[in-house]
Each structure stands twice: as C-alpha cells, then as structure tokens.
Amino acid sequence: MDEKKHRLIMDRISKHFPGVKALTNVSFRMFPGEIHVLMGQNGAGKSTLIKVLTGVYSIDSGEIRLDDKEIRAQSPLEAQELGISTVYQEVNLCTNLTVSENIFIGREPMKRGRIDWKEMHAEAKVLLKRLNVDIDPTKQLGEYSVAIQQMVAIARALNISAKILILDEPTSSLDSNEVNELFKVMRKLKSEGLAILFVTHFLDQVYEMSDRITILRNGEFVGEYKAEELSRMELVSKMIGKEMDEMEQVQELVESHSSIGHQSPFLETKQLARKGSIERFDLKLYPGEILSLAGLLGSGRTEIARILFGADRADQGELKIKGRSVNLKSPRIAIDNGIAFCPENRKSEAIIDDLTIRENIILAMQASLGIFKYLPKKKQTEFADEYIKLLNIKAPGPETLIKNLSGGNQQKVILGRWLLTNPDLLILDEPTRGIDVGAKAEIMKQMGLLCQKGMSILFISSELEEVVRTSHRIAILRDRHKIAEIDNHNVSQQDIMKAIAGGVPNEK
Amino acid sequence: MKNKLFWPLVTLAVLLLANLIHNHDFFSITIQDGHLFGSLIDILNRAAPLVLISIGMTFVIATKGIDLSVGSVVSITGAMACLIISKGDGSSMSVLFTALGISLLLALAAGAWNGLLVSLLGIQPIVATLILMVAGRGVAQLITDGQILTISSKPYSFIGAGYLFGLPFSIYIIAFFFIIASVLTRKTAVGLFIESVGTNPTASRLAGIRSGLIIFIVYVLCSFLSGISGFILSSNVSSADGNNAGLWYELDAILAVVIGGNSLNGGRFYLSGTIVGALIIQTLTTSIYSMGVPPEVTLVVKSVVVLVVCLIQSEAFGSVFAARRRKRDKAAKQGVSA
C-alpha cells in the first residue's frame, strides 16, 4: 500500500495549550480509498488532531500536506472548501427544518436572487442516493431516525470536492442495524476513493471497518498499524500502556470480598414505584456490596437510580434506610441520608463547567454544610489535591476549569465530589460511558476498594462485561419492570443477555 | 479577575482624563463648611443608587436571571417612606424608622414575589419581573395618590443629602453594602452557590444545593438593595414621584453589570467590575453635562461610549481584528518570499 500516493500527510504536528501538551510531534497519514481508525484514550489527542486538521485550532509546529500541497486551514469552512469534511459526534442539525434545508444550509442553490427550491430538493435527493438513503428531502428532518439524521449530516459534509471524510464517533448513538447501514455507506464511499478517518471506542467496529490504525497516547504518536497485523490485546495495551491489568485486579478485589448476607440492608424498598417511569420494585442494598442494574436503555435503570436519590419522587411504596422509613423528597434529603449519585449525563447533570476542579469537588460537601459554614480556601485546596491524587486526575492543578478536562477526568472529579461526602450508598449511573479504558479501569478499581471499606454501591452500565466483573448481585430490568435478581456466581454475559431478552433465570 | 477588571478600569480612567483635559479643576476637591466638594465626590454621590441596584442585579444575572422591576421597587419604597413621614412628625426618629422599616418590608415582599415566580413557578425571569416592573409603578402611584408627594423631614433627607465626616452619607451607604456583599460572597458559600446554580441549575440541585432557595434569595437581595436606593433618591429631593423615580434604572443597572465584565449567561460574577461599571455610567452622565454637550445629543453620545466599551470586551470583535492582523502578516511574509 505504501507505494500508493498519499492523500494526506500530517508531519510532526505539535500543539500546546496553556499547561497542556496536547500534541507532541504526532504524524498521521491517509491514502485514498481507505478507512483509517484513530485510536487512543480520552485525552490522548485524537480530538485535537482532528481539530487541527479541520482548522479549528492552528498548529504550533509541523506541516499538513493534502495531495502534496501544504495547507493550513484557518477555519472549518476553509477546511471544507479544501476537501476535508467532518461529521461530529453530536449531530448538529436542525430537526425543525427539512432534510434539504439541513443539507444546503448556508449554501443554498440560488436562482435570480432567490433560493431555488426545486434544484435544492433534487440535489439533496441525488446526494442522499449516493449514501443509499431514499427519503423525501422536503420533509422535516425530525421525522426521521437518528441514523437517517446521521446520513443527512454526512450528506451535508460531503460536497463534490470532498477528499477526506472525518467521522468522529458516529456510532455512539446508533443501534446495531443502524450501525450496519452506516458501515455500508462507509464502504461505498471508500470504494469511490474517499479517505475516511473514523474515530470510535468500539473495538469490534475497529476491526470490522479499518484498513489501518493509528494509535495516540498522551498526545504522542505510538504507531501506525495495518488492522490485520495488530491483535486486540496489542491494540489495547498500546493504547493504555501500563494500566492494562488493573481490570483484572478489580475482579479479584470484588471476588475476595463477598461475605455479605449477615448484615442488615442499608437501604430497602418495598413496592416502590413511580407512575410512567418504573413499576413496583423491591430492592435491598447491603453495606459492602455492589448491586448492578442490567437492562436495555429505557428499561428503568436510570429511573430507579433517580428515585433512590430523590431526584424524582416515588408515588407508591415504601423506602427504608437503616430500617427507618424515609421519604426522599429531594436530592438534599437523600444526601443527608448518606446517598450519593453520579448521573448518566455528565455534562448536563453533573459538572458545573465554568467552575474549577476544586469548586466542583467540594460542591456537594459545601452544600451539606450550608451557606454559613464555608470551607476555607486552604481546606478546599487540600481536599481537591487529595482527590486529584487519589483518583489520578490528570490536570495542571485544582484551579483548572473542569470543562477543560477530558470526559474520564471529569467523571473522576464527580466521583471525588461524592467520596468527599463519605456516603453509605454510591449510585453510579453509567460512570464509564464515553470515557477511555484507563479511566474506566481506575473508576472500577475505586468501586472495588470502596465496597471493601463497607460502602454499598448501585452500579448501572450498558457494558455487560463490567457488570459481570464488578457486581455481587445483578438485578435485571425489562420494560420498566424489575424482572429478576441473580447472585453473581460464575454468571456469564450470555446468561444476563438471555434474562434481559426474556429467558427467565430461576433464581429470583 | 484582573483581566476582567482591566478594560472597565481603562474606560473609567479615559473618561476621567477626558474630563481633566476639558476642565483642569476636575480632580480638585475643596472644603466648604466642613464638607468636601468636587466633581469626583459628586460622581460617587450620584452613582450611589445605581451602585446599590447594580450589586443586586449582579447576583440576579449570575443566576442567569434578570430583574426588570428594580426601578419600580425604587419608586415604591420612596413613595411609602414619604407617605408615612408625611402623615407623622417629620423630625421624629421613631417615625423615620417606622417608615424605613415598612418600606423595606414592601421591598422584601416585592423580591419574594419575583423570587417565587421565578424559582417556584419557573416563569422566565424577564417575564416574571416585567409584571412587577409595570405593576410596581402603578402601586407607587397609588401610594402617592398620583401626586408628587413632598415632605419636610430633616432626618430622612440626611440619607440622600446629608454629610458625615465631610463626605456625603450615601457614600457610606454604598461602602457598607459593598462590604456586606463582598463578605457574603467571599466568606460564605453564597457566591459559590450562585455561580454554581447560574452555570448549571440541574447539576447544582443534584449536588445537593437548594437551587430554588438560592434563586429566591438573589431576587430578595436585589429588591432590598433597590429599596435602599429608593430612600437615597427620594430623600435627596425630599419628595416621592411614583411616576418618575428610578425610571430606567433597570437598564442602567443591567448595563453596569455587563460593562463590568459579567456575562448575561450567568455563572462567574465580578462585584468590583459591577461597581466600576456603575461608576463609568455615572461619570459619563456627569461629564456630558459638565462638558456642555447639548441635551439633545447626550443620549447618542452615551450610547456610543457604551457601544465602544462593549466592543472592546467582545471576544468576537477582538478575533476579527486578530484574523485581519494574521492575514496581513501572512501577506507581508509572502511578499518577502516572493
């Protein structure tokens, strides 16, 4: 393949932000007609590399050559005119506009000073056909599924002169059928000679789609590999370096500590329910135990978590904490009862993005102390430093704004916020979603350590491997019902999947 | 913080210097009858009501809110205080304190009303406070019976027109409340909670902060400070004009907050920036008068200065210039290499 002509060469690119070396001498290249996967943990420099290529950031040093001509795009628009098209992770389309309006927004075909609607719809149709999508471009975009919307985003990104298509985690919000559709389109575009830069966290997809893989770690270039010559193990170990075997330790940690049953539960629910979100359920949470909620998205996992934290109110049933009946009317009351909650949507429900790491960490504790018992700044910094160290948060210091951290590090800050309040029950709703393997392993290790210290943990994750590895008991949810509960003795992922799908395990 | 204060301070300095050039005695302060007199003192004195209201407005804006009713609260408390004093003995201290107490209760009630509409009922702040902006002025006119109520009360007029240790008493009032506000935001968790709620109310609630309570408190605080301003304004002229007292103060206060480097999107706030912002507005008004700018163009001059201040602080505007400079440098470089 190396004899072929390069489409893109990024040579020894460096980019520094204040206090952070985002990229150091990173090289990256692409050939026409290939799918190239960029791998690395969060914070490894993938996003920065893409933003440099698309003109969002300017580079400090290095050279970018497109078809053997040096380019230096100053803006995403300029990059697109040069032939570099991007579809971002969060699709930024307007669902209340029509499909063709979305495709041509800002560059509508004109005729005599007015928008040529006929031409626009016709062209939209042609563009979408190329992507194997046959829909009515005059209809509102919101009427179509997320997968179709993704295609529309691709159609918008692809103009005739597109040479490189960047897909930044396009599959994270798609189900498996939709992913397959997307892959079909990607293969077609590849066969037409387009170079596709594909970013994903899913290893299966990496091996299904990629021709070559470039790996980054801590802003540095690790290597470029042909997909068929790099095993999964090698790939993961190259991405995360030394943190590899921590996952194994977690499992041992949890397994070494399964002597529960004699104690009384910390929290117990009897026929608790909330109309429209979760049917009546019984649940017992013991100190020193990890209970997982397994089920599909929308099966009622998050709903249970929110009720137990007082974020939503139950309208039926009873909830007891340490044997005492409690009405959790608000998060405030739940926190006062020793409950902590890391919500699913980190960005909208957990982090306060304009505040510093320090402020984010002490926030819950300060809220418990109230307005007048203000922690002195020195004490705050001590706490922040303590948790930055304990959870291995990668940041220049406690005064860094949390919005400048990678997802994994933000999650660790939120975990630190709750550990500081020393809760009896920690509810973790998808704590590992969208974060890299290293941070995942660290968070799971913490879970193991915490339950050993006697904390009760309610764990929600879509990744069954994590569920099987970390939990003592697993509650299965389907369609807003709790349908079963299994003790985790050599339970396999398949067993859980069967239970979720409807094959009823007998150990209720 | 330093960065945020830089441009407001430069603007204030430029305005003061422009005055100095025009009038060489501008900075001079003289003593008459044991009182200090001078343009600078005058600016501070006249800025007092705006400074107070702007402090309250800063808190409200930091929670991503806005309070349009401050001007109306000014007219309500002024009217109420004057009404009670006019019915009693103008020189009696007990009458004075009754008047102040009852008027402040009214201001607190106004703030509670705004706070409840916003925090409990979830009405958008601009709409919720618009209600009181309109209704409040009506209430003030009802209190004064549609008339301008003139009173004669030595103790009351001391608030807005008296002198203490050579300085206007109103300067002590703003100093006092500025210190209180600073202590409240630095030495208690109020500042942290306001910034947290203003940045992300949902996350703040899930972290255990009583977001609703914080929002309620800032509206009450804002109304309370507006109420104090009402005393300063009405006692300065010893009369209450329900129709015109505090008119357009909400806009000047919002402007002072913004000029001071605070974002209308809420979150981080800078009290000292707000103070400088309010002083800029008052200095501008004073200098327009002292320079003899014809009254028909004063509003235009004022708006031009405000526009310039906003442009200087605008990131987008700055980046346009940065981009042009880059382009020019690039062109120059290419010219050399060719």
- Interval A29-85: pLDDT, tens: 999 999 999 988 766 788 889 989 988 888 888 999 988 888 888 888 888 888 888
Q: How far is B129 from chain A (nearest CA, A)?
A: 26
What pLDDT is stored for residue A481 in this prediction? Answer: 84
The residue count of chain A comes to 508
* Residue A478: strand pairing partners: A481
Rounded distance, CA B11 to CA B313, Å?
11
> In this complex, do A367 and B209 lie within 8 Å of one another by their Cβ atoms?
yes
Q: Where are the alpha helices (DSSP H) in A324-453?
A: 331-336, 357-369, 377-390, 407-419, 437-452
Report the complex ipTM.
Answer: 0.82
Tens-digit pLDDT profile for residues A145-194: 777 888 888 888 876 678 899 988 877 667 777 788 888 888 988 888 88
Domains for chain A: give ranges and CATH numbers: 241-338+424-434+447-508 (3.40.50.300)
> Considering chain B, what is the average pLDDT of its residues?
86
State yes or no: pLDDT of A312 exceeds 70. Answer: yes
Question: Confidence band (pLDDT; 50, 70, 90) for A89?
Answer: low
Q: Which residue has the higher pLDDT, A22 or A377?
A: A377
What pLDDT is stored for residue B332 in this prediction? Answer: 63
A350 — contact with chain B (CB < 8 Å)?
yes
What pLDDT is stored for residue A82 in this prediction? Answer: 86
Q: Which of A130-134, A273-277, B172-176, B254-258 shows the lowest per-residue confidence on average (mean pLDDT)?
A: A130-134
What pLDDT is stored for residue A505 in this prediction? Answer: 44
What pLDDT is stored for residue A465 in this prediction? Answer: 75
State yes or no: pLDDT of B102 exceeds 80. Answer: yes
State yes or no: pLDDT of A498 exceeds 90. Answer: no
State yes or no: pLDDT of A244 exceeds 80. Answer: no
Which amino acid is present at B131? Answer: I
Q: How far is B206 from chain A (nearest CA, A)?
A: 6
Percentage with pLDDT > 70 across chain A: 90
State yes or no: pLDDT of A508 exceeds 50. Answer: no
> Which residues in B have their CB inside 8 Å of a CB on A?
187-190, 192-193, 195-196, 199-200, 202-210, 267-268, 323, 326
> In this complex, do A335 and B202 lie within 8 Å of one another by their Cβ atoms?
no
Selecting from B196, B208, B323 the residue whose C-beta is nearest the C-beta of A352 gives B196
Rounded distance, CA A125 to CA A137, Å?
6
The tokens describing B289, both together, are: 């008068």
Instruction: Calculate the dihedral angle through the C-alpha atoms of A68, A73, A77, A82, rounding to the nearest 10 degrees.
Output: -10
Highest mean pLDDT out of A412-426, B230-244, B248-262: A412-426
Q: Where are the alpha helices (DSSP H) in chain B?
A: 2-22, 39-62, 70-87, 93-115, 125-143, 154-161, 169-186, 190-199, 201-206, 211-237, 249-259, 271-290, 295-313, 315-337
**Distances B212 to A170, B193, B198, B219 between C-alpha atoms, Å:** 38, 11, 11, 11
Selecting from A348, A359, A373 the residue whose C-beta is nearest the C-beta of B192 gives A359
Q: How far is B215 from chain A (nearest CA, A)?
A: 14
> Considering chain A, what is the average pLDDT of its residues?
84
Selecting from A331, A353, A369 the residue whose C-beta is nearest the C-beta of B200 gives A353
> In this complex, do B187 and A374 lie within 8 Å of one another by their Cβ atoms?
yes
Q: Which of A7-21, A244-258, B191-205, B245-259 shows the lowest per-residue confidence on average (mean pLDDT)?
A: A244-258
Tens-digit pLDDT profile for residues B34-44: 777 788 888 88
Rounded distance, CA B27 to CA B18, Å?
11
CA nearest neighbour of A425 among A317, A307, A494, A340: A340
Start-to-end CA span in chain A (Å): 57
- Does residue A9 contact residue A25 with C-beta atoms inside 8 Å? no
> What are the residues whose beta carbons fall under 8 Å from the beta carbon of B296, sequence distance 6 or more?
none
Q: How far is A371 from chain B (nearest CA, A)?
A: 5
Tens-digit pLDDT profile for residues B204-242: 999 999 999 999 999 999 999 999 999 999 988 888 887
Q: How many CB atoms lie within 10 A of CB A495?
A: 18
Domains for chain B: give ranges and CATH numbers: 49-313 (1.10.3470)
> Which residues of B fall within a CB distance of 8 Å from A353?
199-200
Tens-digit pLDDT profile for residues B124-143: 999 999 999 999 989 988 98
Tens-digit pLDDT profile for residues A346-391: 888 999 988 999 999 999 999 999 888 889 999 999 999 999 998 8
Rounded distance, CA A200 to CA A170, Å?
7
- Does residue B78 contact residue B231 with C-beta atoms inside 8 Å? yes
The 3-state DSSP class for residue B285 equals helix
Q: How far is B337 from chain A (nearest CA, A)?
A: 16
